[in-house]
Amino acid sequence: MCGIVGYVGPRQATDVILEGLRRLEYRGYDSAGIAVVHATEAGGTISSDKRAGKLANLEKSMATTPLAESGTGIGHTRWATHGPPNDRNAHPHLGSTGRVALVHNGILENFDALRVELERAGHDLISDTDTEVAAHLLERELTAGADLTTAMQRTCSRLRGAFTLVAIDALDPSRVVAARRNSPLVVGLGDGENFLGSDVAAFIEHTREALELGQDQVVTITADSVSITGFDGAPSEGRGYHVDWDLSAAEKDGFDWFMRKEIFEQPRAVADSLLGRRTSSGALHLDEMRLSEQELRDVDKIIIVACGTAFYAGMVAKYAIEHWTRVPVEVELASEFRYRDPILTSDTLVVAISQSGETADTLQALRHARAQRSRVLAICNTNGSTIPRESDAVIYTHAGPEIGVASTKGFLTQLVACLLLALYLAQVKGTRYGDEVTQVLDQLEQMPEHIESVLAAADQIYELAAAHTDAKTVLFLGRHAGYPIALEGALKLKEIAYLHAEGFAAGELKHGPIALLEEGLPVLCVVPPRDRDQLHDKMLSGIQEVRARGARTICIAEEGDTAIAPYADVLISLPKVPVLLQPLVAAIPLQLFACELATLLGHDVDQPRNLAKSVTVE
């Protein structure tokens, strides 16, 4: 939510910042703004521009009226929380005298009280945002004689909530100062220049060396230095790391949408997430698993917490973990978890799944679990993000940057990580023989090829989408590990095609949802493999019930499934894989269907309305 960029160096700050904002626009696109500082005879001045709507509006405005030349500046792309998305509420916000400009990601929970305090002291606040109070507080500290770093430390200690703040001071063009609490911020280390960004995409074309910041830290960048302190001013440090992907991963590469590109990247993403997982003896090995084998053997209950698509990956994990390890698993929406007083002990393993590693609901759930002495394992795609940093152990997925707001390769690689975790627990606890684990690993390693074959048949799905541009409702049915896939298919359609879509466990249909069926209503059915005969046959009955009511059955089934063919208005074939691995192929036609339908309906697939890629507010 909200993208933030900061720069100090020899280049034109506006160019670097606009480029960074372009790469961060997926985080929010309600408005965009930029501010630069440059020295004048009178000391220095800030120039800024900010516009409601997408970044293109700001670019248009700056093309007509360029900002002053400068090597120091900040930028912001907004996902609105407080106040409607208009020019006035766009960031940067200035203090009363215009000495300071500040951008913010997060929510300042005590902004109301601070606003009253400032207004009583004669400050005139002009926006509806929570952010503006921070600009005024900062400026008040500067006016009292503090430098920008000290002013930021003092300001932060007055704030409650979640924030990344980045600011410039008109009287000090040499530095940009930032702070973070519960909200992401990374430093990009250049040669004679330094960068700040909500994530590394902001500066990836300039440097792949990054510094991860900890909680409650203030960072000051100049062209040739980076210094970090706590909010109390005590010197502190960040963790340096090398970004293992480059600019090309953050480009569309000839695809119309990042989402479509990311769907087609899935064979590679899955293969990369499986790389290096076996020891020389063939046993499964998870290199960032910082929990000892004994700690894992002691685990008597697992609770998976996640949101949205990651939650559906967690649902698949439950089937796999319980089947292979016999350890009971609960899957819980992270936003609900801590409010129901969950039963947690030191033998409970909490698994937090998050592509971004910054989702506020998931982060708060993991903090709650750790406060109750449970161990937390993160499944995450973003190196250096908060969720893995605050967890006891981590399994990183290797999807590369996911930029489309609708998660695709992030989801598939989460499924891989969940299956690896399930197998690893089975290996450690001895609930499966070594050769069984090896057999599943072998099958997993064949998945990139299977995914490739599903993608090769994309045209059939595109035709299907073209035939459904007038659909008002689409239903999805699945059973067992196919049930979360039905939910995921419905979520994809809602978020990018803005269609009413619902996923159901096929067995539940007759308990209510069947009343929704009417002539011609499209129902996508994820059919379990035939070797699970009971499941398969029950699904077949469900499909017949749907068809008997005139709805249109679009069946996604294993190749050669002759039992389904007579009852399928449309049959989409999947390669033959075991039931627990089937989600890795069954999700793909649903992703392609949503992407194509949204495209045909004329929607912005990568930046769907009201959404943001990583939800860093609760």
Residue 616, interface with ligand M6R (CB under 6 A)?
A: no
Distance CA 16, CA 75 (A): 10
- Minimum CB distance to ligand M6R smaller for 172 or for 212: 212
Nearest to 75 by CA among 184, 174, 206, 166: 166
Does the annotation mark 307 as catalytic?
Answer: no
Minimum CB–partner distance for residue 584 and ligand M6R (Å): 17
Q: Which of 261, 409, 492, 613 is catalytic?
A: 613
Minimum CB–partner distance for residue 410 and ligand M6R (Å): 6
Backbone Cα Rg of the chain: 25
Binding mask 369-408 for ligand M6R (x = CB under 6 A): ------------------------------------xxx-
Binding mask 3-42 for ligand M6R (x = CB under 6 A): ----------------------------------------
Stretch binding ligand M6R (CB under 6 A), from 141-149, 184-192, 356-364, 371-379: 356-364
- Minimum CB distance to ligand M6R smaller for 70 or for 407: 407
Roughly how many angstroms between the first and final C-alpha of the chain, as a whole number?
A: 11
Does the annotation mark 555 as catalytic?
Answer: no
Binding mask 488-527 for ligand M6R (x = CB under 6 A): ---x---x--------------------------------
> Under DSSP, is residue 429 helix (H, G, I), strand (E, B) or coil?
helix
Nearest to 300 by CA among 332, 331, 352, 345: 345
List 162's β-bridge partners, or say none: 107
- 506: which 2 tokens? 């096929």
- Minimum CB distance to ligand M6R smaller for 362 or for 364: 362
Residue 266, interface with ligand M6R (CB under 6 A)?
A: no
Residue 70, interface with ligand M6R (CB under 6 A)?
A: no
Minimum CB–partner distance for residue 154 and ligand M6R (Å): 33
Minimum CB–partner distance for residue 260 and ligand M6R (Å): 14
The number of C-alpha atoms within 13 Å of 333 and in the hemisphere containing its C-beta is: 6
Residue 359, interface with ligand M6R (CB under 6 A)?
A: yes
Per-residue b or e along 465-487, where b marks 16 or more CB atoms closer than 10 Å to that residue's CB: beebeebeebbbbbbbbbbbbbb
Contact 235, 229 (CB under 8 A): yes
Minimum CB–partner distance for residue 357 and ligand M6R (Å): 7
The beta strand positions in 125-231, using DSSP E, are 161-169, 172-181, 186-189, 194-197, 209-212, 217-221, 226-230
Minimum CB–partner distance for residue 354 and ligand M6R (Å): 3
CA 564, distance to chain mean position in Å, is 36
Distance CA 396, CA 378 (A): 8
> Which residues contribute to the site for ligand M6R (CB under 6 A)?
307-310, 354-356, 359, 362, 405-407, 491, 495, 614-615
Q: Looking at the annotation, which residues are catalytic?
A: 2, 613
